[in-house]
Amino acid sequence: MNKTHFLHGFLNPKSVAFYGANNKGNSLAAIQIMNLIKSGYDGIIYPIHLKLDSVMGFKAYKSILDLPQVPDLVVIVLAAKIVPQIFKECGEKGVKRIILISGGFRELTGDYENSLTDEIKDIANQYDMRFIGPNCLGVFNNWFGENNAFNTAIWENITKGNFSIASQSGTLSSHIWFDPDSLDLGLSKSISVGNEANIDIVDCLEYYKNDDHTKVIGLYIEELKRGKRFIELVREITTQKPILAIYVGGSKAGNRALQSHTGSLAGDIRIFDGVFKETGIIKTDFIQEFLDVAMILSRGILPKSNRIGIITNSGGPGAMAANNAEKKGLFVPELSESLQEKLKEVLPSNGSSRNPVDCAFDMNLPYFYVELPDILMKSGEIDAIVQYGVVGFQDVLDDYLKNDRIAPYAEFQNQSAEVIDILTQKLILPTLENSKKYSIPILYVNPMSFTSPWSIRLRKNGAILFQLWDRPINALAKVCEYVAFKNKIINRE
Amino acid sequence: MNKTHFLHGFLNPKSVAFYGANNKGNSLAAIQIMNLIKSGYDGIIYPIHLKLDSVMGFKAYKSILDLPQVPDLVVIVLAAKIVPQIFKECGEKGVKRIILISGGFRELTGDYENSLTDEIKDIANQYDMRFIGPNCLGVFNNWFGENNAFNTAIWENITKGNFSIASQSGTLSSHIWFDPDSLDLGLSKSISVGNEANIDIVDCLEYYKNDDHTKVIGLYIEELKRGKRFIELVREITTQKPILAIYVGGSKAGNRALQSHTGSLAGDIRIFDGVFKETGIIKTDFIQEFLDVAMILSRGILPKSNRIGIITNSGGPGAMAANNAEKKGLFVPELSESLQEKLKEVLPSNGSSRNPVDCAFDMNLPYFYVELPDILMKSGEIDAIVQYGVVGFQDVLDDYLKNDRIAPYAEFQNQSAEVIDILTQKLILPTLENSKKYSIPILYVNPMSFTSPWSIRLRKNGAILFQLWDRPINALAKVCEYVAFKNKIINRE
């Protein structure tokens, strides 16, 4: 944790006051409190409401001045026009930290000399308060406690992890986690910065830079208010912690959208592209790719370079993966003769040892999951592996056995769930150990449902799993761009 | 149906003989028979086996010569070296159609003057037999009967549809359907052509061209044996039925993979690109995009041009979608003043009417699902819609209500499943009617799980749904490229 940075208090408050919450389950402020409850927050919650005696089971207060203590944090979800008055009351109480969820500031009016924004900035300065927002969704700190989180932003409970987000979009900071069962990406912290009237992405970067729980950083950027400081800072960070960023802007429609979203004036896409490239920020336009790259990076196993080994039990996906890999700047080397000889010893006669390594549907499992990757990883000839065809045979079988015209006749080596649990471990863990030892990430592909029994088992044992073969290749290409940047910097030093 | 074409018999056999099947549930030939059973095939199955008396519950025969009739189709899954002998026996029996699943022909040896392939081709010619393969996975005819299918290729039962595939990859012809619950793409027919020793993709195209159950065609191509005929044919087809294709080749690794896969010699990527462009074939490198584009096309509602309206309740996804749309060649027009006035009458004051049309989290459902799309569709200013944020509020609610620290306090308008079923219809059906009437496809995005209760309801009512906003934009761009081609041809005529 980075306790000395001022954002620490925003993410670790022992008490929070809420303006705007009532008991109606579909109001935004109520959702914020429900998320706090759901995330197991064990600090004190003070709802402030003119009429209600209690909100979501917590005693409500008429005014912040009535609270028995100065809350560590205040969250405001009220109409914009009364916010200055609330800010003043907070200042009088001695509050130092505010999250201003409310929208309706510059993004509404297009008024860049927005008097309302200026007014609240002035009040904050006057009382020495810092605030996140306006027009944001709040924060998520997954490392608030051992078994809980501090969460005003995200509607789901997320696995603890090392990926932290700073975002000018509330959706990007939160709703991309709406389907946690399909996302093997643990979250550390997420900060929705909104219009950045007082606290910006640069502040978040300063905080994440020295935060032990943050190993990978994701940004969603519509504009940069402190470009120079941003560049200085990311230059310091990217050699230590990868940063990936979505920058929206550059198209006419994109720029128009930005104006009505956070009210930002779009930058020049060429300047952003240049800065990202020079500082080693991994850029993507696609949210799915953003998540995929983050997932690979957050496992902490980086390839040394861009030589990809492809293992497959089906020619088509192998060929497509190889083709797309090279189009994306990865290298799929033909393997050395001696390595091919080694592979030929274990491959079936109709397989291919050239890379893609095609075992032609020979589904001896230990050989497919352990031996082939082992030979490739030890060879020194490849830096990452994509493996297609890790299908769940018992799942297929279970499906057939449901049919009473098949079940009585087919002889299957039917296995119990427990036996398969142990089998999965035996198949996955040695390869993941090798992966770590040789720093060679391995990305698996199973065309069955991502939440099929076999896929869930693979994922539970730590496999990086995809359902089709496009996404792992595309994401790996981005990871390797970052690796190339890092190698260049290291060689320069 | 296209009953006059010779492929008709391959897809509609009343009797099938199987070489190579036993009762072991994990052998390929057994899987073929199990798939026939699972798909409800009601023709006659004749397993041929030297030792077994019955296979999968069917009486087995020692030789094809013992069968009580000439089977309409023979499927062979045996070692390559004995295939010539089997072919001869089939010829003697009077068989006219063979699917040769077995691999181990030219793709194994790299021997392009492959004597084994020549041998079986000669035998087939001698007996006037046609055969699919070798090195293939068979066929799937989803329109075999009203309530069943003829299926040797695919491991799942798939919704009947109008999308037909011809593929030089078995995986592409079958395993991409491995998760049918997540794929709203009905299948018509799928033919895995393998090495194309006797029947090729061009034959399949000829068949699909006049097949009433085929409205959209998907191809996976590693090489074209009859390039000239292919070009003639697709030129005739693409103005009537869209063709989308994955061509693998062009990269060094891709070409190497092809040689060991189907043994094909890669073509020149520039020639393929040129042919595809000139003939209006929609080209993609990505299997996910292949499926997405097919899904949109198979609904039969084509945009008139490339002007995209974006409706969103969140600024970030709207901005990203707009930005990517323009990068992909779509046009996200700023709406006319009069249209913006109409939108402003219904949008909240902090919304935006410019396009993206941002309703700023005002979640009045009839307004969001019906009124906004209605205004846009009737305007004549856009050709397709992408709508972000069709989230399932009851799903969120149900999740909160599981928490006993929330349930007693939060006041929700809790709705029963039945009420929500009716609500979904009311929200989706009028818009889909408009979509048809104005020929404006609408693509919905819900960041929750694709199989969440709300998402399932939307899909059941016919919505084209995605979980994130990258894929609909990318797929729509491909669809609009096809529309541009078609418009050009029509204008020329």
Distance CA B15, CA B41 (A): 10
The whole-number pLDDT of residue B39 equals 92
The whole-number pLDDT of residue A267 equals 65
Using the Cβ of A346 and the Cβ atoms of chain B, whether some distance falls under 8 Å is answered with no
Cβ contact (<8 Å) for B411 and A289? no
The whole-number pLDDT of residue B104 equals 80
Each as own residue / partner, the long-range contacts of residues B43-48 (CB below 8 Å, 24 or more positions apart, any chain) are B43/B13, B43/B14, B43/B15, B43/B16, B43/B72, B43/B150, B44/B14, B44/B15, B44/B16, B44/B71, B45/B15, B45/B16, B45/B18, B46/B15, B46/B16, B46/B17, B46/B18, B46/B71, B47/B17, B47/B18, B47/B21, B48/B17, B48/B18, B48/B19
Least confident range from A315-319, B123-127, B442-446: namely: A315-319
Query: Searching chain B, which residue's CA lies closest to the CA of residue A109?
Result: B350
Using the Cβ of B180 and the Cβ atoms of chain A, whether some distance falls under 8 Å is answered with no
The whole-number pLDDT of residue B286 equals 96
pLDDT of B15-45, one tens digit each? 999 999 899 877 888 888 999 999 999 999 9
Query: Searching chain A, which residue's CA lies closest to the CA of residue B36?
Result: A406
The whole-number pLDDT of residue B440 equals 98
Average pLDDT score over residue span B463-483: 98
A4: closest CA of chain B, how far (Å): 31
Confidence of residue A255 (pLDDT cuts 50, 70, 90): confident
Most A-contacting residue of B22, B54, B179 (CB-CB within 10 A), to test interface: B179
- CB burial readout B261-276, b (16+ within 10 A) else e: bbbbebbebeebeebb
Using the Cβ of A370 and the Cβ atoms of chain B, whether some distance falls under 8 Å is answered with no
Confidence of residue B111 (pLDDT cuts 50, 70, 90): low
pLDDT of B361-382, one tens digit each? 777 889 999 999 999 999 999 9
B492: closest CA of chain A, how far (Å): 31
- B324 contacts on A by Cβ (under 8 Å): 285-286
- B168 contacts on A by Cβ (under 8 Å): 316
Q: Which of A292, A260, A457, A39 is nearest to B406 (CA)?
A: A39
Each as own residue / partner, the long-range contacts of residues B451-455 (CB below 8 Å, 24 or more positions apart, any chain) are B451/B181, B451/B182, B452/A179, B452/B392, B452/B395, B453/B392, B453/B394, B453/B395, B453/B398, B453/B417, B453/B420, B454/B390, B454/B391, B454/B392, B454/B393, B454/B394, B454/B395, B454/B420, B454/B424, B455/B392
Q: Taking every pair of C-alpha atoms in chain B, what is the biggest distance, in angstroms?
A: 82
Cβ contact (<8 Å) for A352 and B260? yes
**Torsion angle (degrees, nearest 10) of CA A66, A67, A69, A73:** -130
* Residue A30 CB partners (closer than 8 Å, separation 6+): A21, A22, A23, A24, A55, A56, B410
Residues 149-178 of A with CB under 8 A from B: 155-156, 167-172, 175-176, 178
Cβ contact (<8 Å) for A178 and B349? no
pTM: 0.95
State the alpha helices, DSSP H only, in B262-414. 269-279, 287-298, 315-327, 337-346, 365-366, 372-379, 393-401
A400 or A442: which leads in pLDDT: A442
A313: closest CA of chain B, how far (Å): 10
Average pLDDT score over residue span B1-10: 88
B103 or A12: which leads in pLDDT: A12
- Given a contact cutoff of 8 angstroms between Cβ atoms, the answer to whether B99 and B136 are in contact is yes
ipTM of this predicted complex? 0.95
The whole-number pLDDT of residue B260 equals 65
In whole numbers, what is the pLDDT of chain B averaged over residues?
92
Cβ contact (<8 Å) for B449 and A179? yes
State the alpha helices, DSSP H only, in A44-159. 83-93, 106-109, 115-126
pLDDT of B383-403, one tens digit each? 999 999 999 988 888 888 888
- Given a contact cutoff of 8 angstroms between Cβ atoms, the answer to whether A356 and B257 are in contact is yes
Q: Measure CB to CB from residue B251 to each of A327, A452, A470 and give the nearest one.
A: A327
B310: closest CA of chain A, how far (Å): 10
In whole numbers, what is the pLDDT of chain A averaged over residues?
92
Residues 314-333 of B with CB under 8 A from A: 314-320, 322-327, 332-333
Distance CA A332, CA A310 (A): 8
Element (H, E) at B282: strand B282-283
pLDDT of B238-262, one tens digit each? 999 999 999 987 677 777 777 666 6
Distance CA A243, CA A327 (A): 24
pLDDT at A341 over 90: yes
B216 or A28: which leads in pLDDT: B216
The whole-number pLDDT of residue B1 equals 57
The whole-number pLDDT of residue A113 equals 58
Q: Which of B185, B153, B179 is nearest to B166 (CA)?
A: B153
Using the structure block, give the residue that is written with the tokens 């070489």: B19
The whole-number pLDDT of residue B277 equals 93
Most A-contacting residue of B174, B258, B409 (CB-CB within 10 A), to test interface: B409
DSSP B151-219: ESS-SS---EEEEEEEESSHHHHTGGGS-GGG----EEEEEE-TT-SS--HHHHHHHHHT-TT-SEEEE
pLDDT of A201-249, one tens digit each? 999 999 999 999 999 999 999 988 898 999 999 999 999 999 999 998 7
Query: Searching chain B, which residue's CA lies closest to the CA of residue A155?
Result: B396
Cβ contact (<8 Å) for B107 and A350? yes
The whole-number pLDDT of residue B113 equals 58
pLDDT of A142-179, one tens digit each? 999 999 999 988 877 899 999 999 999 999 999 898 99
Strands B442-445 and B464-466: what pairing?
Answer: parallel
Q: The tokens of A486 are what?
A: 């890092």
**Torsion angle (degrees, nearest 10) of CA A215, A219, A225, A229:** 30
Distance CA A231, CA B370 (A): 45
The whole-number pLDDT of residue B149 equals 96
Query: What 8-state DSSP symbol labels residue B45?
Result: E
The whole-number pLDDT of residue A109 equals 55
The whole-number pLDDT of residue A368 equals 95
How many Cα atoms are found within 13 Å in the side-chain-facing hemisphere of A106?
Answer: 22
What angle, rounded to 10 degrees, do the helices at A269-279 and A227-238 form?
30
Q: The tokens of B403 are what?
A: 């928490």
- B174 contacts on A by Cβ (under 8 Å): none
A401: closest CA of chain B, how far (Å): 10
- Given a contact cutoff of 8 angstroms between Cβ atoms, the answer to whether A134 and A83 are in contact is yes
Most A-contacting residue of B158, B248, B456 (CB-CB within 10 A), to test interface: B248
Least confident range from B108-112, B267-271, B361-365: namely: B108-112
Residues 35-94 of A with CB under 8 A from B: 37-38, 54-57
pLDDT at B63 over 80: yes
- Phi, psi (5° rounding) for residue B319? -65, -45
Distances in Å between the alpha carbon of A392 and those of A281, A404, A424?
A: 37, 21, 10
Q: Measure CB to CB from residue B326 to each of A104, A175, A253 and give the nearest one.
A: A253
Average pLDDT score over residue span B86-108: 90
Distance CA B222, CA B261 (A): 9
Proportion of chain A above pLDDT 90, given as a percent? 76
Average pLDDT score over residue span A475-481: 98
Proportion of chain A above pLDDT 70, given as a percent? 96
DSSP A399-460: HHHT-TTTTTT-B-----HHHHHHHHHHHHHHHHHHHHHHT--EEEE--S-TTSHHHHHHHH
Average pLDDT score over residue span B279-290: 97
Using the Cβ of A25 and the Cβ atoms of chain B, whether some distance falls under 8 Å is answered with yes
* Helix (H/G/I), strand (E/B), else coil: A49: coil
Using the Cβ of B423 and the Cβ atoms of chain A, whether some distance falls under 8 Å is answered with no
pLDDT of B150-199, one tens digit each? 998 887 889 999 999 999 999 999 989 999 889 999 999 999 999 999 99
State the alpha helices, DSSP H only, in A59-191. 83-93, 106-109, 115-126, 170-173
Q: Which domains does chain B have, with CATH numbers?
A: 7-297 (3.40.50.261), 302-489 (3.40.50.261)
The whole-number pLDDT of residue A351 equals 87
Amino acid sitting at position A489: I
Cβ contact (<8 Å) for A358 and B261? yes
Cβ contact (<8 Å) for A447 and B317? no
A468: closest CA of chain B, how far (Å): 7
How many Cα atoms are found within 13 Å in the side-chain-facing hemisphere of A221?
Answer: 32
- A448 contacts on B by Cβ (under 8 Å): 178-179
